[in-house]
Every structure is written in C-alpha cells, then in structure tokens.
C-alpha cells in the first residue's frame, strides 16, 4: 500500500528505483518512511478510501454523539442552546464532516428521554430491592422566599450495597402545612410505586414535619404496609438535634465568640489591615500568615468550631495588633482566649461525631447508638469541671439532650444489636454506665421490641426467606438420573438427622460469640450480613432494612 502510494509520486519514482537497484529492499523501506511526498498516517482508521479512491473520515454513530451531548448538558448544567453555538458546531464539523446538527429543542427532548429512561430503571431497581425503603425529607426556603422540598430514598440492592437516590427535588407551593406536605410525599411515593415498601422516614424537628409524619403514617397504615403499626416509622435527624444541643451551649459563651468573630471581620475587612496583621504574625514568631482565618456561620455550630480552631493559634498576633492599631477595639482578653481554648477542646468530640453523621457517605445506622452514648458521657463529665462557663454550657446542653434523647431511639438501638461486634452486650454496658438504677428496664424494653419486630419478618417473609436459601443442585448422569454424589448424600443425612432446637434465628444470632472489635474495627456490616443471609434468611432481611435507616437528613 505504502509503496504504491509512493510510486505514484513521480518526483521520487526515479530515485527510488536507483535506491532499490543499489542498496536493496531494506534501504527502500527506510526511504519510504522518509519520503516527503508520502502522507504520514498515524492511525489506520483515517486511511479508509471511498469509491472514488479518496480518503474519507471514519464512521461516527450520530446516536452516540447525541447521548454524549445530553450527558454534557446534564453534568455541566449547560443551556440547551449550547448545541447551537457556532464554535461547537465548527468543532463537530472538524471531527466529522458528515455530522448532522440538531436544534436546542431536539437536545431538550433527548435530555428528557434520558431522564425518563433512568427513572424507569430506578423504579425497577427499587421494586426488585431485597428489602424495604427508608426515606429522608427536607424542606427549606430559598433566599428568594420560595419553598423547596427534597425526598430521598435509601435502600440496599441485590449486591448488598447501600443506595441513596433523590425521588423528588421540586418547588413546594404554599402553604407548607403538614397536610400539604403529607399529600405531596404520598403522591410521590405512589408515582414511584414504593408506597407499600416504606420502612422509615427521617426528619428534622420542624413543627410542620411532626404533623406531616402523623398524617403520612395514617395513609400508609390504611394499606397495612408499615411494620408494627408504624411504631418505628418516624426517625429524628441526629445532626439536627446535635446542632440544637450545641447551639444551646454556645449561648453561654456568646460574649467571647462575638469578640473573636468581630476580630476576624476587622482583619479581613481590607488588604491594608491584612498586611498589618501578617506583620504582627511574623513579629510574634508565627510560621505562616493569617490567611487561614475562618469566619463562622452563626447558625452552624460546627463552623464556629472551625473558626475557633483557626483563630486560636493567632491570639498573640491579635494582641500585638491591638497595641498599635487603636481602631481595633474588639480584641478578646486573655481570659476570653483561655475560655475559647477550653471551648475548642470541649467541642472537638461533637465536631468528630457531626462529621460522621454528615460525611461524604451515609453511615449505616449501627453507628448511631455508641456515638450518642459518647455525647451523654461527655456532657455528664463536664457538669463538674472547674470553669463555670464550660460547666454552664454542659448543664444547658444536658437539658436539651434529655429533651430529645432521654430515651434513645429504640429502632436505632436495635441497629446496634445487629452489629455482630456489639449485640445486646453493648447496650447492657452503655445503659449500666449511665443509668445504674433502671438499666435493666431499658435493656428489656429494647429486647421486647426487637423480638416483636423480628416476629413480623418471620410471618410476613417466610416464603421469601425459604426461597433465598441456596440449595445445591443434583448432578445428573447422561441419562438424566441423579448421580450418587457423596457430598449430596451427606447434605441429605444432615437434613434428616438434625433435630429442631426450637430456637429462632434471632436466638441463635444473639447466642453466637461476638466478633472482637479490635480485630474487626473496620467491619463492613452489610458485607457481614450478606455472607450470613443463608444462615439467617429472615434476620438478614430485617438487618437489611434497619441498617439502611439514615440517621440524618443532611445530604452528603
């Protein structure tokens, strides 16, 4: 091919013949590579010839191009008119001269079709999911005073992976009453075909949400689709309650916080002040500039913690700035700086727990119980410290804690029991530490609810449970008769001689030794139940539903 093309170039035909006669074929190959009249083809795909013998571009599937354009519009939030931009069309022509351009209306239709296809796929996935579906719901008002709602479904698929998918994100017309919110959510569940598969709904403490969940629970109970009459339907958002608790404590130390906040605002108000502050940082031996100063959002306590963490290392620089800048009058005193340091230490565990609740991935609900227990232990510990401000903070926070968490959520305590590293022993340990008088009563209450809930799974899902057990198939001979396999005979022997013990799956699970926490620190609990679903078919289904309960409405 290359020789024929080259020999068609008459400018080098004579010289190539002379090379071939004098040096042979090896040197001829080198000459072909160096021939200036020969096109340099780097890709065999561009060497296709049409019927006239001319080079033509490779074939491009226009359907794939439209799909790629739809994905670009969705992922990068581009306008539909993007498809009609002159430079974009020039680029497409450059890549493929035979491209067929589409209009913005066609692009809009493609995106809508893609949405409907994905919605249909998600509906089928949720319909085939092995367990029930847990919901989170949030409602807020934008800066334009328009109301919006977001409804998210959390479920475990056939591969035992936790999925979170937004079912509805839309504008909510007033009034935002409990009746209207319940109607909106119920119609959305009907549209997705999951109204009979709901297990729980996680909400924050807005007053409208309380009435909404009651109305929605009544709707779902009429269909007899909730377990235990909806007793475990309503879950309070842990991140929201934690925010209320800490905000209550921060009210005590508002004086020091205001001064710190105003000091940061003063320094960051102009470039000249920032330069002066950086000079003070260098003067007192600072290793970096004050660019790391973080201003908080007063309604978010964890941002207040980040502010304290960033500003305390610059306390000497602020004091230095106050000596020569007479306009800087909000510098905290030494006593207030010391109080800020104690507040930072006090809030550190709360910040760690909040990051766990509101992290980049939704934690399974077995992580809830021990974290709330740690919070209560920390508050009780700080009720008797020497600093009166920290003591007052802990007192007010403990009162708020008791308002919401005096009795830990039973369903999330059950989630801790379904962690093979904890079981009932973890609840016994935690209750006895904090409630030495009535810990047995609390533990017995959780145990009773645990057995009541499991009984419903046994009665409702007995058919599904038996079908989920994997039974080895018989090997057959060539004539179709089953072979006498020794392993199969052993399985039959065990099934015939095994005497029933009268113990349920739950009894067997609780009696088994716990996994050692030190050896299984990073245990993937869903993976553990996936490996034991044949041994505990009904209990694994219950674990699947309970462990998928989101403990926060905060989106990842």
In SS3 terms, 282-328 reads as: HHCCCCCCHHHCCCCCCCCHHHHHHHHHHHHHHHHHHHHHHHHCCCC
Q: HSE on the CB side for 413, CA within 13 Å?
A: 24
Q: Give the pLDDT of residue 429.
A: 92
| Per-position b or e across 475-514, b if 16+ CB within 10 A of its CB | eeeeeeeeeeeeeeeeeeeeeeeeeeeeebbbeebbeeee
Q: Give the pLDDT of residue 1.
A: 42
Burial of 10 (0-12, 13-18, 19+ CB in 10 A): exposed
Q: How far apart are CA 159 and CA 531, in angstroms?
A: 11
Q: How confident is the model at residue 385 (pLDDT cuts 50, 70, 90)?
A: confident
* For residue 39, pLDDT beyond 60: no
Lowest mean pLDDT among 129-133, 141-145, 329-333: 141-145
Nearest to 491, CA basis, from 458, 511, 469, 512: 469
* For residue 30, pLDDT beyond 80: no
- What pTM value is reported for the model? 0.75
Q: What is the DSSP letter of 361?
A: S
Q: Give the pLDDT of residue 361.
A: 59
Q: How far apart are CA 55 and CA 1, in angstroms?
A: 14
CB 108 within 8 A of CB 80: yes
Q: Across the beta sheet with 234-236, what order do the strands follow?
A: 162-171, 147-156, 133-141, 198-203, 234-236
In SS3 terms, 260-272 reads as: HHHHHHHHHCCHH
Average pLDDT for 398-404: 89
Q: What is the DSSP letter of 223?
A: T
CB 199 within 8 A of CB 227: yes
Q: How confident is the model at residue 428 (pLDDT cuts 50, 70, 90)?
A: very high
Q: Give the pLDDT of residue 56.
A: 56
Cα torsion for 419, 421, 427, 431, to the nearest 10°?
Answer: -140
Q: How far apart are CA 136 and CA 235, in angstroms?
A: 9
Mean pLDDT value across the chain: 80
pLDDT tens string 259-288: 998 999 999 888 899 888 888 888 887 655
Query: What percent of the chain is modeled with pLDDT above 90?
Result: 29
CB 143 within 8 A of CB 210: no
In the numeric block, the tokens 């022997």 are attached to: 493
pLDDT tens string 296-341: 676 677 788 888 888 888 888 899 999 888 889 889 988 888 888 8
CB 431 within 8 A of CB 413: no
Paired tokens of 388: 């009166």
* For residue 200, pLDDT beyond 90: yes
Average pLDDT for 103-132: 91
Residues 6+ apart with CB under 8 A from 474: 482, 483, 485, 488
Tell which wins on pLDDT, 535 or 57: 535
Tell which wins on pLDDT, 52 or 465: 52
Paired tokens of 416: 């801790």
Q: How far apart are CA 86 and CA 94, in angstroms?
A: 12
Angle at 504 between CA 500 and CA 509, to 5 degrees: 115
Q: How confident is the model at residue 8 (pLDDT cuts 50, 70, 90)?
A: very low
Tell me the three state secondary structure of residue 273.
Answer: helix
Q: Give the pLDDT of residue 490.
A: 54
Q: Give the pLDDT of residue 4.
A: 44
Helix (H) / strand (E) containing 168: strand 162-171
Q: Give the pLDDT of residue 298.
A: 65
Q: HSE on the CB side for 460, CA within 13 Å?
A: 17
* For residue 26, pLDDT beyond 70: no
Paired tokens of 16: 């190539």
Average pLDDT for 520-526: 88
* For residue 441, pLDDT beyond 80: yes
Lowest mean pLDDT among 51-65, 273-287, 301-315, 351-365: 51-65
Tell me the three state secondary structure of residue 202.
Answer: strand
Q: Give the pLDDT of residue 471.
A: 40
pLDDT tens string 497-515: 444 556 889 999 999 999 9
DSSP letters for 371-399: HHHHHHHHHHHGGG-S-HHHHHHHHHHHH
* For residue 121, pLDDT beyond 90: yes
Query: What percent of the chain is modeled with pLDDT above 70?
Result: 78
pLDDT tens string 71-107: 999 999 999 998 899 998 998 888 888 888 899 999 9
CB 126 within 8 A of CB 133: yes
Q: What is the DSSP letter of 419?
A: S
* For residue 27, pLDDT beyond 50: no
Preceding peptide of 175 cis, ω within 30°? yes
Domains, the chain, ranges and CATH?
A: 62-115 (no CATH), 130-237 (3.30.420), 238-353 (no CATH)
Average pLDDT for 217-236: 90
Residues 6+ apart with CB under 8 A from 30: none
pLDDT tens string 484-500: 455 555 555 544 444 45
- Among 32-41, 158-167, 361-370, top mean pLDDT goes to 158-167
Q: Give the pLDDT of residue 501.
A: 58
CB 526 within 8 A of CB 130: no
Q: How confident is the model at residue 404 (pLDDT cuts 50, 70, 90)?
A: confident
CB 235 within 8 A of CB 200: yes
Average pLDDT for 57-71: 81
Q: How confident is the model at residue 362 (pLDDT cuts 50, 70, 90)?
A: low
């Amino acid at each position: 091919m290359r020789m024929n093309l080259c020999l068609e170039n008459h400018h080098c035909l004579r010289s190539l013949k002379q090379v071939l006669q004098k040096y042979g074929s090896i040197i001829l190959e080198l000459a072909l590579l160096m021939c200036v009249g020969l096109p340099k083809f780097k890709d065999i795909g561009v060497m296709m010839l049409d019927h006239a013998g001319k080079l033509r571009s490779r074939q491009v599937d226009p359907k794939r191009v439209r799909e790629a354009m739809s994905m670009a519009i969705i992922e990068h939030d581009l306008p539909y008119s993007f498809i009609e931009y002159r430079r974009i069309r020039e680029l497409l022509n450059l890549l493929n001269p035979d491209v067929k351009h589409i209009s913005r209306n066609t692009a809009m239709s493609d995106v809508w079709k893609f949405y409907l296809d994905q919605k249909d796929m998600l509906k089928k996935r949720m319909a085939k999911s092995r367990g029930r579906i847990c919901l989170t719901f949030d409602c807020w008002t934008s800066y334009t005073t328009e109301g919006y709602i977001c409804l998210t479904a959390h479920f475990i698929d056939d591969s035992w992976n936790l999925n979170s998918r937004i079912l509805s994100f839309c504008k909510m017309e007033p009034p935002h009453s409990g009746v209207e919110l319940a109607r909106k959510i119920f119609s959305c569940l009907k549209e997705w075909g999951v109204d009979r598969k709901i297990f729980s709904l996680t909400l924050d403490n807005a007053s409208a949400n309380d009435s909404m969940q009651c109305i929605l629970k009544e709707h779902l109970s009429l269909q007899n689709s909730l377990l235990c009459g909806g007793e475990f339907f309503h879950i309070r958002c842990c991140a929201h309650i934690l925010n209320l608790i800490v905000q209550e404590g921060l009210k005590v130390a508002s004086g020091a916080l205001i001064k710190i906040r105003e000091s940061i605002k003063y320094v960051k108000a102009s470039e000249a002040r920032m330069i002066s502050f950086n000079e003070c940082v260098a003067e007192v031996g600072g290793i970096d500039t004050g660019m790391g100063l973080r201003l908080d959002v007063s309604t978010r306590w964890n941002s207040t913690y980040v502010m304290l963490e960033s500003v305390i290392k610059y306390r000497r620089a602020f004091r230095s700035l106050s000596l020569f800048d007479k306009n800087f009058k909000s510098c905290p005193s030494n006593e207030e700086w010391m109080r800020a340091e104690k507040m930072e230490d006090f809030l550190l565990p709360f910040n760690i727990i909040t990051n766990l609740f509101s992290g980049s991935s939704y934690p399974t609900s077995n992580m809830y119980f021990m974290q709330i227990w740690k919070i209560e232990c920390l508050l009780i510990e700080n009720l008797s410290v020497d600093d009166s401000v920290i003591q007052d903070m802990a007192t007010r926070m403990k009162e708020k804690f008791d308002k919401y968490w005096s009795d830990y959520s039973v369903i999330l305590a059950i989630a801790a029991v379904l962690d093979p590293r904890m079981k009932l022993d973890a609840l016994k340990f935690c209750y006895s530490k904090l409630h030495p008088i009535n810990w047995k009563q609390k533990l017995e209450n959780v145990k009773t609810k645990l057995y009541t809930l499991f009984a419903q799974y046994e009665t409702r899902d007995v058919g599904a449970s038996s079908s989920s057990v994997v039974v080895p198939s018989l090997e057959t001979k060539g004539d179709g008769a089953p072979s006498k396999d020794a392993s199969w005979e052993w399985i039959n022997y065990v099934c015939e001689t095994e005497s029933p013990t009268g113990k349920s799956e739950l009894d067997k699970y609780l009696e088994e030794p716990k996994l050692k926490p030190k050896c299984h620190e990073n245990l993937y609990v869903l993976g553990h139940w996936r490996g034991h679903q044949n041994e505990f078919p009904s209990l694994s289904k219950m674990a699947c539903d309970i462990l998928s309960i989101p403990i926060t409405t905060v989106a990842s």
